[in-house]
Amino acid sequence: MAKLHVTTEINGESAEFLCEPHQTLLSALRDDLQLTGVKEGCSTGDCGACSVILDGRLVCSCLVLAAEVDGASLLTVEGLARGGRLHPLQQKFLEHAALQCGVCTPGILVAAKALLDRNPDPSEEQARYALAGNLCRCTGYDKIIRAVLDAAAELRGAAR
Amino acid sequence: MSERKFRYVGTRPIRHDGMDKVTGRANFGADFTLAGLLVGKVLRSPHAHARIRSIDTSRAAALPGVHAVATSADLPEQEHGPGVDMHDLTRNILAREKVLYDGHAVAAVAAISDRIASEALALIDVDYEVLPPVLSVDEAIRPDAVLLDESLRCEGPDPKPAGPTNVAARLQIGRGDVAKGFAEADEIVEREFTTQAVHQGYIEPHAVAARTGADGQSVVWCCTQGHFAVRSYSARLLGLDVSQIKVIPSEIGGGFGGKTTVYLEPLAILLSRKAGRPVKMVMTRAEVFRASGPAGGTRIRLKVGVTRAGRITAADATLLYEAGAFKGSAVMAGVMCMFAPYDVANVRLEGFDILVNKPKGAAYRAPGAPMAAFASETVLDELARRIGMDPIELRLRNAVREGSQAVYGPKLKAVGFVECLEAARNHPHYKAPLGPNQGRGVAAGFWFNGNLQSSAQVSLNEDGTATVVSGCPDIGGSRTSLAIMAAEELGIPVERVRPVVADTETVGYNDVTGGSRVTFATGTAVIEAARDVVRQLRERAAALWGIDVAHVKWEDGRALSQNGVTQEPLGIADITRKAAQTGGPILGRSSWMAKGNGPSFAVHIGDVELDPETGRVVVKRYTAVQDAGRAIHPSYVEGQLQGGVAQGVGWALNEAYLYDAQGHMQNAGFLDYRMPVASDLPMIDTVIVEVPNPHHPYGVRGVGETPIVPPLATVANALHDASGVRMCDLPMSPPAVLEALESRR
């Protein structure tokens, strides 16, 4: 079967790739575009390690077909830092020791970005529910939640 | 130990691998790619128990795009032996006479695409004689039980099964006179407990890429807790020299013990050798659940007596642990840990290692201990209530301390159990008011901590920065702890030290990252290597100054002359820039078989809230107190405590392998195998107690495993406090709790 040609925007830059009709966005990002910061933990949409932001919406890239992103705009963990400067979420994750093994970290950072984009001042409970689709087995979530709330506070300060 | 003033130990620098991990640059097991890479896949048994009459791979091998097919016929036969049993391991990576669990590997293929590899698997014809599965310890020990391995005989002291059996071993420890002890007791509680198989639940599936050259040299990239173990096991399984395999560890996305053995690695090497092309294999999540190494289920019967004054007079227990398809459950550790925190005169503890048609268990964080502590810490809670004593007071009255003869054998050196109990009792959480339907529980935990072999190198760069090379994969931040210890010895900031986890050809041998041993054992090697460097720095400074080395002191990262003649102090860069004139590069080395990784104790306080309508139990507040000996990087010590609690809470409330009557796993995915998510848990408070381990230069004890030991009983005891219902079967899922509540009504 002929491959499909997809034109999209990834992390602020235009990108093109060819994909199989059945290929997942996760596979295209990792295997064809070498964006291996997007992690595969389950391929069934249960762990959140492959989270990306698709046209402003948080999705599991394992549940999206690559062909669906034609004309869309994507953000992956690789696009969080801009111009060599870490996003405040990334900086706070480092300062709070909010990662241990680090394999869930890209997905959680992206999910946290999606949260803060729509709710700049989440409560602890709102942050916990917003990240409930992202499994972390190492940290018990404590330091992750603290890092997200601290990053939110910093972003609010910067926005003032 | 004299109180040393630390400059970098106990600080919280940003981890060296952090930048790569928050930007997506860090390479994990599945992130490698190579030119000409083939996709490797495994055919897995659809049956929990069956004899393999024949395997025909000819149709698969003939499929265009298939480059290699492998079965157990490609692997040399192995003998039973001590340590890791190669006879069993070769059968676990590719089944021989029988398949022994749902998902057991039967054959492997390498093909040019994922689709063709899948098609090839479908073309492999396996003729099975399906046998009835053995799915619980109760079924397995029946005299007329179906046997997994007709040649198995029970090892250990009598009384034990004679003749063919599913019981691989019986073991027993004890002391004193248990009957006499129970006669002295004022209150006796006897109960039976069950736990279900649970998975480590690391988010990164097993993954490997292997490439073999025409010279027969194989290079392996994989996520593992021990790349030297992968090399050693793979060489033995494939009949190769160890020097024919180089293993490069990737970043590892969690392990918790589950990545201390091999599954895919020898198969990828084998396929790459047969195909003459590199092969990559990645497990699906379902494969991880069905065919890696969970912690098996258990049945434990326990009887404990106490006096009204709170003295434990006797303990008698029988522990039945599922090993899975091959012998080697963690029952020995369970037996040894069960009463390790307590000074009990009369004890009889026996354990049985039992085969069932489930995956062969692997290590899982304090292997064997959480289930044993679930039983013992629940019974102690009940006894405390019976005699009207505070549960922490009961534990304090029996706690081991320095000089105690532990139930499992040794006379203990300095340990911090009493300090942990006191810290818990004095914590505001312990006195905080509870709301309606809420209850509070406490429980203690113990883990030995491991030793094993470690080696490390510290080398100096020409600008005065340092590189620390070790060989234990870093799962939870150990690299930075090693860098902190090197910085402490060298007297330079942690940011000037770069820690590296090296491959099997770049650093001396290291045993696995396991047993909470890295910061202790590899850390000691790093300290010794750094001291070797400091000795050389003093010699070089002495040479530059033309004075006796005895008159050179190393302090705050500088050489100071002590012979009365004033010299400008020399920093590391001053010395390394002139290294060529004074004897060449400066490299410190150390290797040892570690001894003395002091045991660690924990005390947990947990509050739960019960929804009496649904049976749902939610943890509302949690405090983990643990002796770390010396916290090198406190944030990562806290992280270990918090992560262990989360896993333990999952084990207590939700997690379990579910099987149908034919032995097929029913919940091989994260949707149905329900691990705690962020909205399930509260913040997890931690208290780090520091009773230095006399066997580490700074006092370090391992901290990683102990925190998973107390939560099972902590939650069960809290639920009892909230509801009056004593749950002895895990998980305490809403239906189970509801049933318990209703049967009480």
At B571-605, the pLDDT tens digits run 999 999 999 999 999 999 999 999 999 999 999 99
Contact A137, B201 (CB under 8 A): yes
Say if residue A14 is in the same domain as residue A52: yes
| DSSP code, position B360 | P
A70 and A21 share one domain = yes
Specify the CATH number for the domain of residue A42: 3.10.20.30
**A79 contacts chain B (CB < 8 A):** no
What's the distance, CA B341 to chain centroid? Answer: 20
User: Do A113 and A49 fall within a single domain?
Assistant: no
**Element (DSSP H or E) covering residue B70:** strand B66-71
Please tell me whether residues A101 and A68 are part of one structural domain.
no
Say yes or no: A94 and A143 in one domain.
Answer: yes
Per-residue confidence (pLDDT) for residue A83, from 0 to 100: 87
Domain count, chain A: 2
Contact status, residue B640 vs residue B707, Cβ threshold 8 Å: yes
Q: Would you call B681 an interface residue with chain A, using a CB distance cutoff of 8 Å?
A: yes
> CB–CB of A132 and B679 under 8 A?
yes
pLDDT at A92 > cutoff 70: yes
Residue A32, domain extent: 4-79
Q: How far is B669 from chain A, CA to nearest CA, in Å?
A: 7
Domain boundary among A79, A97, A119: A79
Q: Under CATH, what is the fold of the domain B298-449+598-744?
A: Aldehyde Oxidoreductase; domain 4 (3.30.365)
| Together in a domain, A73 and A99 | no
Ranges for all domains in chain B classified under CATH 3.30.365.10? 18-25+451-593, 298-449+598-744
A109 touches chain B (CB under 8 A): yes
* A40/B476 touch (CB, cutoff 8 Å), yes or no: no
| A73 and A127 belong to one structural domain | no
Give the Cα separation of B50 and B36 in Å (integer).
Answer: 37
What is the CATH code of the structural domain delimited by B18-25+451-593? Answer: 3.30.365.10
- CATH 3.90.1170.50, chain B: domain bounds: 32-131+206-282
Q: Same structural domain for residues A23 and A72?
A: yes
ipTM for this prediction: 0.98
- Domain finish residue from A79, A104, A130: A79
CA distance to partner chain B, nearest, from residue A66 (Å): 17
Q: Does one domain contain both A107 and A74?
A: no
Q: CB-based contact (8 Å) between A49 and chain B? A: yes
**Degrees (nearest 5) of the Cα angle B368, B363, A131?**
100
Q: Inter-chain contact A103–B643, Cβ cutoff 8 Å?
A: no
Instruction: Give the model confidence (pLDDT) of B86-107 as tens digits.
Output: 999 999 999 999 999 999 999 9
Encoding tokens for residue A31?
């295997």
Q: Which residues contact B550 (CB under 8 A, 6 or more apart)?
A: none
A62 and A97 housed in the same domain: no
Give the pLDDT confidence of B436-492 residue by residue, as tens digits. 999 999 999 999 999 999 999 999 999 999 999 999 999 999 999 999 999 999 999
Q: Mark yes or no for CB contact A100/B27 under 8 Å.
A: no
Domain boundary among A25, A53, A79: A79
Confidence of residue B1 (pLDDT cuts 50, 70, 90): very low
Q: How confident is the model at residue B251 (pLDDT cuts 50, 70, 90)?
A: very high
CB–CB contact A144 B670 (8 Å): no
**A104 contact residues in B (CB cutoff 8 A):** 203, 253
Q: What residues does B324 pair with on adjacent strands?
A: B355
| Stretch 238-267 of chain B: residues touching chain A, C-beta under 8 Å | 251-256
Higher-confidence residue of A83 and B172: namely B172
Whether the predicted pLDDT of B561 surpasses 80: yes
pLDDT > 70: percent of chain B: 100
What is the model's pLDDT at position B4? Answer: 84
**Chain A stretch 134-153, residues whose beta carbon is closer than 8 A to a beta carbon of chain B:** 134-146
Average pLDDT value over all residues in chain B:
97
pLDDT at B83 over 90: no
Is A127 found in the same domain as A74?
no
pLDDT score of B522 more than 80: yes
Q: Is the pLDDT of residue B368 over 70?
A: yes
Residues of A within 8 A of B670 (CB-CB) are 41-42, 44, 46-47, 135
Instruction: Determine contact: B513 vs chain A, CB below 8 A.
Output: no
Q: Is residue A1 very low, low, confident or very high in pLDDT (cuts 50, 70, 90)?
A: low
d(CA B186, CA B169): 35
Write out pLDDT tens, residues A147-156.
999 999 999 9
* Tens digits of residue pLDDT in B371-420: 999 999 999 999 999 999 999 999 999 999 999 999 999 999 999 999 99
Q: Determine how β-strand B245-249 pairs with β-strand B279-282.
A: unpaired
Going by pLDDT thresholds of 50, 70 and 90, the confidence category of residue B500 is: very high
Residue type at B195? T
Is the minimum CB–CB distance between B202 and chain A shorter than 8 Å? Answer: yes
Q: How far is CA B162 from each of CA B243, B352, B467, B523, rounded to the nearest angstrom? A: 43, 14, 57, 47
What mean pLDDT do residues A65-71 have?
98
Question: Is the pLDDT at B626 greater than 80, yes or no?
Answer: yes
d(CA B260, CA A89): 33
**What is the Cα–Cα distance from B88 to B104, expressed in whole angstroms?**
13
A68 and A122 part of one domain = no
CATH of domain B32-131+206-282: 3.90.1170.50
How many A-B residue pairs are in contact by the CB < 8 A criterion? 187
Burial class (CB in 10 A: 0-12, 13-18, 19+), B129: exposed
CB B639 within 8 A of CB B476: yes
Contact B203 A131 (CB under 8 A): no
